[in-house]
Amino acid sequence: MKMMEMLRFKISKKLSLFFLFCSIIFSAKSAYIFIPMDESQSNHLKAYGIAYYAIERDIKVDWLLNYQGGSFMIKQHSAIENECNIRGVSYQLIADVQSTQILQSIASPEVNQDVVRLEKAPKIAIYSPSNKQPWDDAVTLALTYAEIPYEVIYDEEVLANLLPLYDWLHLHHEDFTGQYGKFYASFKNATWYKDQKIAYEKLAKKLGYDKVSQEKLAVAKKIKDFVNAGGFLFAMCSATDSYDIALAAEGTDICQHMFDGDAATASPDQYLDFSRTLAFKDFTLVKNPNQYEFSSIDATQTRRINAKIDFFTLFDFSAKWDPVPTMLCQNHMQVIKGFMGQTTAFKNQYIKSNVLIMGETKATNEARYIHGEFGNGTWTFYGGHDPEDYQHKVGDPKTDLSLHPNSPGYRLILNNILFPAAKKKKLKT
């Protein structure tokens, strides 16, 4: 009996040593952290924060385009593992041989996949007023939830030529035309509207402009200079079309008296210069100050589609030949549920021919997600206000992203955050 116990002890000891040895060997060979971005990922949005966290610390990150939903492969580091565990991000430890196999399979010319190295964490600026309401901005919500650092700037910083300090700029729900969002009919008696108008007028005077529209135009032109010099611009909702309208209307008063104290130019459409715009052409202005719309660009009031069947489809680009739009379209879903905003989507007939449409609703002939180049930089416009709040009414509470950690609509926002970090290849298409 004693002999049997001793034998069991020896066997048990040997097995323990064996498993310890295997553990050490596996640990030594676990050279990468693989973060899947397909349906198996528990928190897609925070995964972007992990990638940003890594490149911020000069840790190697590969973005595997179209591989399991746009997965990340990061050089193994205990700090990255800890952050994945803390933030609830799904990951796997893989050995060198496994990472090599993945890269080899991606390199095959027969698969629509590619690898992009994320090299430098972009410095992010959010263009946003101090009186921003909780419902105002999906991008701020996304960055905060993903734990990606950013700085808030506004007109004073832009006009003081501070934009070159940043790599990436987001325009929050903004009206660059000086018409205060065209909220006049519904909210002219609301305290927040009156306070906002006073604050904007005071700021314009402080910065040396007689009108808010003139000051906003100056800001819009500075932002255009930022893109031309190599900056990355991202805008959503009314910041998209109102931006181009302001550029096109330079030198023309398109604001009625309740906005700036004097009458608008008669027949202003004939004075619009579309050569100044980034994305849109041939549009006409909505001149009625009581109509909650800026121009013919937006499809909000003309589209006839039920909320239950309101979706848009992402284009499938060639990862090896068109890495830029491929990066911007990375997702675990190709068909994304729609969402409204002051500017919901862009009518195709008003989009310039050199603009790349990345997401569209064919049934209504409208684009939702578009991209283009200007000078040395790029811009991306995303229609709608909040990807997880379909109608989004003024005064609604902000979206709790902990309830939507796998939001495909919000993923498109975060793709744009990482895009400037990538070592890019020239767009071929």
Tokens matching residue 322: 């068109």
Query: What is the spatial distance between Cα 325 and Cα 377, in angstroms, rounded to a whole number?
Result: 14
370-to-26, 350, 361 alpha-carbon distances in Å? 45, 12, 12
Within 10 Å of residue 195's Cβ, how many Cβ atoms? 11
Domains present along the chain, CATH in parentheses: 2-118 (3.30.70.790), 124-300+340-398 (3.40.50)
Mutual orientation of helices 408-418 and 138-146 as an angle, nearest 10°? 80
Residue 167: closest CA among 145, 143, 150: 150
The confidence score (pLDDT) of residue 241 equals 97
Q: Encode the chain (429 residues) as per-residue pLDDT tens digits.
A: 445 455 454 545 444 444 444 444 444 456 999 999 999 999 999 999 999 999 999 998 999 999 999 999 999 999 999 999 999 999 999 999 999 999 999 999 999 999 999 999 999 999 998 777 655 689 999 999 999 999 999 999 999 999 999 999 999 888 999 999 999 999 999 998 999 999 999 999 999 999 999 999 999 999 999 999 999 999 999 999 999 999 999 999 999 999 999 999 999 999 999 999 999 999 999 999 999 999 999 999 888 888 899 999 999 999 999 999 999 999 999 999 999 999 999 999 999 999 999 999 999 999 999 999 999 999 999 999 999 998 877 677 889 999 999 999 999 999 999 999 986 555 444
The confidence score (pLDDT) of residue 30 equals 65
The 3 state secondary structure assigned to the chain is CHHHHHHHHHHHHHHHHHHHHHHHHHHHHEEEEEECCCCCCCCHHHHHHHHHHHHHCCCCEEEEECCCCCEEEEECCHHHHHHHHHHCCCCEEEEHHHHHHHHHHHHCCCCCCEEEEECCCCCEEEECCCCCCCCCCHHHHHHHHHCCCCEEECHHHHHCCCHHHCCEEEECCCCCCCCHHHCHHHHCCCHHHHHHHHHHHHHHHHCCCCCHHHHHHHHHHHHHHHHHCCCEEEEECHHHHHHHHHHHCCCCCCCCHHHHCCCCCCCHHHHCCHHHCCCECCCCECCCCCCCCCECCECCCCCCCCHHHCEEEECCCCCCCCHHHHHHCCCCCCEEECCCCCCCCEEHHHECCCCEEEEEEHHHCEEEEEEEEECCEEEEEECCCCCCCCCCCCCCCCCCHHHCCCCHHHHHHHHHHHHHHECCCCCCC
Nearby residues of 37 by Cβ (< 8 Å), 6 or more positions away: 44, 47, 68, 69, 70, 71, 72, 330, 332
The amino acid that residue 359 corresponds to is G
CB 70 within 8 A of CB 319: no
The amino acid that residue 202 corresponds to is K
Within 10 Å of residue 72's Cβ, how many Cβ atoms? 26
CA 29 to chain centre: 36
The confidence score (pLDDT) of residue 21 equals 44
The confidence score (pLDDT) of residue 172 equals 83
The confidence score (pLDDT) of residue 1 equals 46
Query: What is the spatial distance between Cα 362 and Cα 311, in angstroms, rounded to a whole number?
Result: 10
The confidence score (pLDDT) of residue 392 equals 73
CA dihedral 85, 91, 93, 96 (to 10 degrees): -140
The confidence score (pLDDT) of residue 151 equals 96
- At 136, give phi and psi (nearest 5°): -75, -30
The confidence score (pLDDT) of residue 8 equals 54
Residue whose token pair is 């050089």 = 75
CA 108 to chain centre: 30
The confidence score (pLDDT) of residue 45 equals 98
CA 343 to chain centre: 16
Query: What is the spatial distance between Cα 299 and Cα 241, in angstroms, rounded to a whole number?
Result: 11
Query: What is the spatial distance between Cα 239 and Cα 223, in angstroms, rounded to a whole number?
Result: 12
CB 173 within 8 A of CB 236: yes
